Amino acid sequence: MKAPATAVITLSVLLVSLAGVSAAETQKADLEQGKKLFNACKGCHEIGTGARNKVGPHLDGVFGRTAGSIKGFKYSSAMKDAGKNGLIWDEKNLGEYLEKPRDFITGNRMSFRGMVKPQDRVNLLAWLASISKTAPANDPNTAQKNPIPGFTAAVLKLDGDREYGEYLSGECVTCHQVSGHADGIPSIVGIPKEYFITSLFEYKSNIRSNDVMKLRVENLTNEEVAALAAYFSSLDPK
Ligand code: HEC
Ligand code: HEC
């Protein structure tokens, strides 16, 4: 996905001035570098057309988004409050947030240490902006462009039994800590039902290949998947 060259140049000029660094200290934004830097975010965030909420909200069209406003994603109250108080993601705010996430919004729950190098932030934000331009997510049609897989739709219709889910979760929490802490295993606490169900389906159907997870889900019935989804999505991440 490439933004038109002119837009990129304008953006990089803007970004250099807004990311809190003087132009003298920085080079021009390097989109290739920016794309690589997104590897630090990928485990938790999707971006691009059809991006879905994961451990973190999808970042499609994040520029101009009110903080904490993606429907169906379970934000911390700190993030929701920031949005209610008028925080809109622009280059400047994003730069400050990514530098020190914990300091910028106290109590938000993004487990990311921070990106200390100003030039890295400039590069990453320029790349995010180039992607963001081509795929605005605040577009009300996004949901339709990103259809829910049939299996997920069917399971979403079942009324998951949260208590049964809690009982079944005994099989999961040995690896996926209820506290949400990760240690290399993705956190599944508070993740949106739709994402949860779709990913289990992807293990069942070999779209995802992790053997550990395939073994765990192959014998789960739809009712059990619905119950687990009801339980895990109801938990509040710490
Ligand atoms: C370990 C998982 C994780 C990593 C890594 C991570 N994030 Fe996040 N991110 C989250 C979570 C969870 C939230 C929601 C925080 C909350 O609700 O308090 C979030 C929120 C955000 C938001 C606010 C979005 C909104 O809708 O208000 C932005 C922007 C963001 N992350 C960008 C990034 C970028 C860019 C990176 C990489 C440099 C990154 N994140 C790395 C988990 C992560
Ligand atoms: C032995 C450890 C282990 C157990 C037990 C386990 N998981 Fe996992 N789970 C993992 C690992 C490792 C991954 C990441 C696999 C990958 O990279 O695809 C994962 C991934 C997932 C994901 C996808 C998360 C994402 O961010 O995409 C979901 C959802 C999930 N597990 C749910 C469950 C449920 C529900 C159970 C119980 C029925 C369970 N897991 C039991 C280790 C485990």
Q: What is the pLDDT of residues 210-220, one digit of tens each?
A: 888 888 888 88
Whether pLDDT at 180 is above 70: no
Ligand 2 atom nearest residue 168's Cα: 38
What Cα–Cα distance (Å) separates residue 229 from each residue in 2, 74, 201, 210, 225? 36, 13, 12, 19, 6
The average pLDDT across 74-93 equals: 90
167: CA distance to ligand 1 center in Å? 30
Please, what is the end-to-end C-alpha distance for the chain in angstroms? 35
CA-nearest of 90, 110, 89 to 101 is 110
Q: Quick one: pLDDT at residue 71?
A: 87
For ligand 1, mutation pick of 45, 53, 120 (most atoms within 8 Å of CB): 45
The average pLDDT across 49-78 equals: 89
Q: Quick one: pLDDT at residue 3?
A: 41
| Residue nearest atom 12 of ligand 2, based on CA coordinates | 185
Instruction: Collect all residues with Cβ–Cβ distance below 8 Å to 228 and sequence separation of at least 6.
Output: 160, 165, 168, 169, 172, 196, 200, 220
109: CA distance to ligand 1 center in Å? 8
What value does the mean pLDDT of the chain take? 79
Question: What is the C-alpha separation between 174 and 65, in angstroms, rounded?
Answer: 36
Q: Quick one: pLDDT at residue 65?
A: 83
Question: What is the C-alpha separation between 98 and 4, in angstroms, rounded?
Answer: 25
For ligand 1, mutation pick of 15, 41, 65, 119 (most atoms within 8 Å of CB): 41
| Residue nearest atom 15 of ligand 2, based on CA coordinates | 210
Q: Which residue has the higher pLDDT, 126 or 34?
A: 34
Q: State whether the beta carbon of 1 lies less than 6 angstroms from ligand 2.
A: no
Whether pLDDT at 176 is above 50: yes
Position 15, amino acid: L
119: CA distance to ligand 1 center in Å? 19
Beta carbons of 142 and 59 less than 8 angstroms apart? no
Whether pLDDT at 142 is above 60: no
Q: Quick one: pLDDT at residue 139?
A: 42
